[in-house]
Amino acid sequence: MDAHYDENRTYQKYIFFITDKKVIDSLIRTVKYGSRTRNIMEHDNFSLIVTKNNRIVDRWSISPKFSNINTDGSPNFFDIDILASLSERFPMKYKYYNKVFFSPKQYGHFEDSMLLKKNTLFIYRPDFRYEGSFEVEFPKNKDFPDARKAIEYINKILEKKTDKSKFSAVYALTGYNLNNQNQITITISSPKWIFDEFNDGKAQKKSWTSAENDAIIFEKL
């Protein structure tokens, strides 16, 4: 299928949907990709997705523009005409929508019911790791000459409070960071209690934003 976030639906013409095991087995035997190509992919690419019982088993990214497929972290040559042929033989249309969930339990009940529906293709599940996020602003100086130093500093503080898997500190190229080069703003995703307890004289803590735990549901039309 094409990239659902691509407003131009650039590769909609290549969409296909196959459930016949004989056809799938034949494709596994006959379709091959070629040698390594330069490491370049498109943002609005095409995805080859394998599902079982409406759950994603595996997926690969295909770039029709550069005629390659990424199966293991590196691209190989791929004949894009194969996509056109499969789309002609096994056409499909789909829709998708977002739904917000407030707890893993709430989502679990929804998923159990949705996976039983014949039109469900698959669901991108919500990420319930973090309750939300907040920003901390550092002045750019000899202690914090770049974002890497600021992130290292935050990690040392938070790792004393909780496991590294419970939070994430990243530097985003936001308009504020780009337009204010005398400072470094780091975004921390975490449980709410980390925000409540965060108090450090070297950084300015900004407001808390609750996470929107939304799922993306794909359905065949």
Percentage of the residues of the chain whose pLDDT score is greater than 70: 100
- Euclidean distance between CA atoms 37 and 147, whole angstroms: 33
* Mean pLDDT over the full length of the chain: 93
- Residue 63 and residue 48 in contact, taking contact as beta carbons nearer than 8 Å: no
β-bridge pairing 120-124 and 94-101? unpaired
What phi, psi does 112 have (nearest 5°)? -55, -40
Q: How far is CA 76 from the centre of its chain?
A: 22
Q: How confident is the model at residue 127 (pLDDT cuts 50, 70, 90)?
A: confident
Alpha carbon distance 33, 61 (integer Å): 13
For residue range 138-167, list pLDDT tens digits in order.
999 999 999 999 999 999 999 999 999 999
- Residues 179-206 pLDDT 10s: 999 999 999 999 999 999 999 999 999 9
| pLDDT value at residue 198 | 95
Residue type, 210: S
Please give the span between the terminal C-alpha atoms of the chain, in angstroms, as a whole number. 13
Q: Are 90 and 18 in contact (CB under 8 A)?
A: yes
Out of 91-95, 125-129, 195-199, least confident range? 125-129
Q: Where are the beta strands (DSSP E) in 53-131?
A: 55-63, 68-70, 75-77, 94-101, 120-124
Residue 220 has a CB neighbour count (10 Å cut-off) of 13
What would the DSSP string read from start to end of 131-173?
A: SEEEEEEEE-SSS-SSHHHHHHHHHHHHHTTS-GGG-EEEE--
Q: Is the pLDDT of residue 75 over 80?
A: yes
Report pLDDT for 41: 83
Mean pLDDT computed over 90-108: 93
Place of tokens 């996470």: 211
Indicate whether 73 pLDDT > 80: no
